[in-house]
């Protein structure tokens, strides 16, 4: 897939669940599971980790798997994205795909759908996340490198520097598209922020025999057929910006 960089932000210093991206999952780790679920897109993946000294296990995993990586600011995630993209040759029209490493149930087909829509329509950003009807934990956002570069140049507030896409509309006239799930399944929480999220994700994978080769439809069917899985972490509140 030409002119696409899939940048996954990953760090070891999460405040609510330190080291969460390397917690055991499916005889592997959370981050490796995510990378393997994106296997067909691996050549486009860049893991954007930190340079604070805690990132060595993430770097070692990337080296072992042959995945590109970049080490940058822990708090200024916007600069980490910009510098990672630039280091690996991003041009103005390169499509940047933002993913976060707390999504081990990410769906490669949905990521591909967002990229395809972006390439085939006159839009500045395509997203699949909040307000889309999809569960939290499948979040995907696609935008041009030129948008990232301009936001990096102009953004000054701490939230804008930390959350990458938060300030984009402040500095750019944007035409955005949200991919719809068709139905509202946003009550399912599939992201990894707290210990109960980890318990829920482990239970989901165990219900699926620790396979990695399932798609969104099978995942959704599993959640509907085994409602106790979603009850494990339904009380966890998403951290606000």
Percentage of the chain modeled with pLDDT above 70:
98
Give the single-character DSSP code of 71.
E
Q: What is the Cα 157 distance to its own chain's centre?
A: 22
Q: Is it the case that residue 241 has pLDDT exceeding 80?
A: no
What does the alpha-carbon distance between residue 120 and residue 101 come to, in Å, rounded to a whole number?
A: 27
Confidence of residue 1 (pLDDT cuts 50, 70, 90): low
- N-terminal to C-terminal alpha carbon distance within the chain: 33
**Sole residue written with tokens 């839009």:** 123
pTM: 0.95
Mean pLDDT of the chain: 95
Read off the pLDDT of each residue in 152-157 and give the average, rounded to a whole number: 94
Tokens of residue 158, six digits:
């701490």
What does the alpha-carbon distance between residue 238 and residue 223 come to, in Å, rounded to a whole number?
A: 19
What are the pLDDT digits (tens) for 78-120? Answer: 999 999 999 999 999 999 999 999 999 999 999 999 999 999 9
Give the single-character DSSP code of 21.
G
Confidence at residue 167, expressed as pLDDT on a 0 to 100 scale: 87
Read off the pLDDT of each residue in 219-241 and give the average, rounded to a whole number: 90
Confidence of residue 15 (pLDDT cuts 50, 70, 90): confident
Residue 167, Cβ neighbours under 10 Å: how many? 20
Confidence at residue 27, expressed as pLDDT on a 0 to 100 scale: 93
Confidence at residue 63, expressed as pLDDT on a 0 to 100 scale: 98
Confidence at residue 41, expressed as pLDDT on a 0 to 100 scale: 95
What are the pLDDT digits (tens) for 113-123? Answer: 999 999 999 99
Confidence of residue 240 (pLDDT cuts 50, 70, 90): low
What are the pLDDT digits (tens) for 18-64? Answer: 999 999 999 999 999 999 999 889 999 999 999 999 999 999 999 99
Kindly report the length of the chain. Answer: 241
Read off the pLDDT of each residue in 174-198 and give the average, rounded to a whole number: 95
**Sole residue written with tokens 């280091």:** 87
Confidence at residue 238, expressed as pLDDT on a 0 to 100 scale: 76
**Sole residue written with tokens 């696409």:** 4
């Amino acid at each position: 897939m030409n002119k696409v960089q899939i940048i996954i932000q990953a760090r070891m210093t999460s405040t609510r669940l330190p080291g969460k991206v390397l917690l055991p999952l499916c005889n592997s780790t959370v981050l490796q599971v995510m990378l393997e679920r994106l296997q067909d897109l691996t050549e486009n993946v860049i893991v954007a980790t930190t340079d604070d000294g805690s990132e060595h296990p993430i770097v070692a995993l990337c080296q072992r798997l042959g995945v590109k990586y970049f080490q940058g600011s822990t708090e200024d995630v916007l600069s980490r994205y910009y510098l990672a993209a630039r280091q690996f040759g991003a041009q103005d029209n390169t499509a940047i795909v933002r993913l976060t490493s707390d999504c081990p149930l990410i769906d490669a087909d949905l990521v591909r759908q967002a990229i395809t829509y972006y390439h085939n329509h006159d839009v500045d950003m395509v997203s699949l996340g909040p307000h889309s009807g999809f569960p939290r934990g499948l979040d995907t956002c696609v935008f041009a490198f030129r948008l990232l570069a301009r936001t990096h140049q102009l953004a000054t507030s701490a939230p804008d520097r930390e959350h990458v896409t938060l300030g984009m509309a402040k500095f750019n006239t944007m035409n955005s598209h949200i991919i719809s799930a068709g139905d509202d399944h946003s009550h399912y929480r599939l992201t990894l922020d707290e210990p109960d999220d980890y318990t829920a994700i482990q239970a989901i994978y165990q219900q699926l025999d620790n396979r990695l080769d399932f798609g969104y439809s099978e995942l959704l069917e599993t959640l509907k057929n085994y409602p106790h899985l979603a009850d494990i972490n339904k009380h966890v509140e998403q951290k606000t910006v």
